Amino acid sequence: MIAGLAKPTSGQVLYRGRAFEGVNPGTAIVFQTFALYPWLTVLENVELGIQAGPSRRSIALKAIDTIGLDGYIDAYPRELSGGMRQRVGFARALAVQPEVLCMDEPFSALDVLTAENLRSELLRLWQGGEIPTRSIFVVTHGIEEAVSIADRIIVLQRDPGRVQAILPIAIPHPRDKRSPEFQALVDRVYTVISRPEEEDADELLETSDAASEISQLPLSVMDTKLSVDSDAQSQTETKRKPMLPAVRIGSVAGLLNFIDEDGTDIYRLGQSLQLDVDEIYPIIEAADLIGLVDVQEGDVLVNDRGAEFVKSSINQRKALVRESVLKEEGSWLIPQIYRLLGQSRRSNRIPQELIFDMVLLKHFTPQEARKQLEIAIEWGRYAELFTYDALSGELFLVEGEDDDIAREEFERPDLLRRRLQVTRTESEDFPEKAGET
């Protein structure tokens, strides 16, 4: 919306105090993928965004020189490394001399060393005034990356995408990733992300302790403002059902083995597993939803139920998951599917489109709804509540004794707790009985 490539569903975007139509003339974009024309040379790719005129070539050459690609002006993208291709993307964006440079995960396709080098060079150019850009707007899933380059971090909620927190950063550049201040800010961001969505958003719009000195700093996109009509905003903020985390239960079970007994810092846990926040947090969210972990101040701790899960057999684990998903509000979709299947007069079978059309589309977009149905089927299968026939596109209850047990547990949760206790007692007594035999 800032660049003018998409229109807001309500309100308007103002650039320098005025609404604009079409593409915002003061912005440029660096894409996640290199987005280069393979049949054009470096120079020709950079010239694409520059208006025709006698100075077009000189402007492009200056941008190429600024980004360190002189000597490659006649090379084609296939002749360049990944880092050099992204440099061409930077040169193409800077050639139009934007006031606001928008970047969509610009370093994610690069290896660690190349990405770090390119980040530091971009910061040097911007802070040294070698480029006309006044503000840089970066979208990233990397918390460490955000803390290392940003003057202000805006954390968005996953759904429906409202601002959850605004965290100014007062640490001067260059920033030492090993410093206590840096680590404290990384932990702070993880803490904000782990906050439940139900909490008051106003409470979350706060500054970090390390950045308190500049709590009144204006938004870094200095001359770009987003204005939203209050009535329309209240309509779009109608409470939606929570979404199931897009992970398998097996991933949750695996993660528990990497968490220390006294808890583990989420940032360091992600580093040890080489997972970004958007990869590790859904797993932690799923573990929290099932009731296996507690998340506090950027740390994750395996609770008593989680410790029991780790030591349990596969059937005991399934029973624990079944108990949780049938009662937790966050997993509302699974008990609703299970209830509909139990009420069906057609051999406890219903077509997936019924769930999709009558349940999911009330709360999610078609793409989100399809994904949520896939996750619900995966979790329902693990918990042995229901399964899915891909040929007919139907969901149906698991037949046999286990289905009767699951139905009783759904109607009377106290039975499940009693059965779990009996199973645990038998497991603990088994070694002694075997020895006696």
3-state secondary structure 135-147: EEEEECCCHHHHH
On whether the CB atoms of residues 24 and 2 are closer than 8 A, the answer is yes
pLDDT at 402 (0 to 100): 47
Kindly state the average pLDDT of the residues 95-110.
Answer: 85
Q: Which of 183-187, 211-215, 252-256 has the lowest mean pLDDT?
A: 211-215
Are 29 and 93 a contacting pair, CB within 8 Å?
A: yes
57 neighbors 47 (Cβ within 8 angstroms): yes
Average pLDDT of 339-354? 85
Section 190-205 average pLDDT: 58
Residues 6+ apart with CB under 8 A from 41: 73, 74, 75, 76
Least confident of 24-33, 277-286, 318-327, 418-427: 418-427
- pLDDT of 315 reads 84
pTM: 0.58
- Check residue 373 and give its pLDDT: 92
Cα dihedral angle (130, 131, 136, 138), rounded to 10 degrees?
-90
pLDDT at res. 184? 86
Phi, psi (rounded to 5 degrees) for 310:
-60, -40
> How many Cβ atoms sit within 10 Å of the Cβ of residue 421?
10
C-alpha 333/C-alpha 39 separation (Å) is 49
Q: Read off the pLDDT of each residue in 242-253 and give the average, rounded to a whole number.
A: 88
Mean pLDDT on 9-22: 83
Q: How many Å is the maximal CA-CA distance in the chain?
A: 96
Q: What is the mean pLDDT of residues 46-68?
A: 84
User: Does residue 39 surpass a pLDDT of 90?
Assistant: yes
